[in-house]
Structure formats: structure tokens, C-alpha cells
Amino acid sequence: MSNTEAAYFLCKSLEGSLTKPSLRGSQQSCVVNVASVGGQLSTGSGIAYEMSKAALIQFTKSLAVEWAPKNIRVNAVAPWMMYNEKLEEAVRVVPSALDTFKRRTPMGRLADPAEVAGPVAFLCMPAASFVTGVCLNIDGGASCQMFEGPTSC
């Protein structure tokens, strides 16, 4: 099942639960989809992956509009590279990959999974009660530059 299909069917199956006042009390319900910077830019992740993440971002925006009257907020996050098992496997195959990813990130490092979880938690908090339909990049500035390397003034 693709990234998009999984999100679609999960959201549709939970819609009834998300609208129940007993579930949320006086609070809003919310959904946070996990997209990728690859859904906004070509990152070398492959066209099928990047296309599915772009569709997930658009799904998030469309569903945010559709569900806003139901008091359900829908947002997405778009992480860049972070340390995880999949990255460890890739680095074993191409040891220089880690240095390349760090060089392509203005902050000069990759995210820790907790640095992605924190913004997801924020999007679920009352502090984000007027935020819906956005895709928050969690990328150390990687999506801000169109080329590899630092800028000079």
C-alpha cells in the first residue's frame, strides 16, 4: 500500500471517532501525516517515493479544508534525513552518504527522531489550535537552499 493510500484509508476509518465529543472533550481532534521534504523537492529519493509524499501533502491540505467544520485539524510534517535503521543500512552500502547528507543540510547535521517527534506533538497541542492544512518542514534548513553548500554575501 502506498504512502497515500495508507493515510487515506486510516483517516477515513477514524473520521467517526475523531468527531465524537466524548473522545476529545472540548478539544479539537487532529491528524498529523508524515510526508517528506522529498514531497516538495527532488532529493534523490526516487520519483515514486517523492510523488507519493507530494500527494500526501496535497491530501493533508484538502482534508484540512473538508474536516475543518467538523473541528478536526489536519497537518503534515516533512522531515529530511534523520538517524534511523534505514539510514544506517544505506551508510553501510555507501559510507560517504552520511557526509553528503550533512553537507546538504545547512545546520550541518541530521535530525534525531525526537527532533521530529517534538513538532508533531506541537501540532497536536492546543497551542496549535488555529493551525490546519500546513506542512511543517523539519529539515535543518535543507529545503531553503537550491544548491549544495553554503551561501556567501
Q: DSSP code of 153?
A: -
Q: Is 74 helix (H, G, I), strand (E, B) or coil?
A: strand
Element of type H or E holding 75 = strand 72-79
Give me the tens of pLDDT residue by residue for the chain, a chain 153 residues long.
688 999 999 999 999 999 876 655 567 899 999 999 989 988 877 889 899 999 999 999 999 999 999 999 999 999 998 888 888 888 888 888 888 888 889 999 999 999 999 999 999 999 999 999 999 999 999 998 865 555 444
Element of type H or E holding 135 = strand 135-138
What superfamily would CATH give domain 31-81+112-140?
A: NAD(P)-binding Rossmann-like Domain (3.40.50.720)
Point out the residues that are catalytic.
Answer: 49
CB contact at 8 A, 142 and 106: yes
Task: Catalogue the long-range contacts made by 67-70 (C-beta closer than 8 Å, 24 or more residues apart).
Answer: 67/15, 67/18, 68/132, 70/15, 70/18, 70/19
Kindly report whether the global pTM for this prediction surpasses the value 0.75.
Answer: yes
Report the C-alpha gap between 56 and 31 in whole angstroms: 12
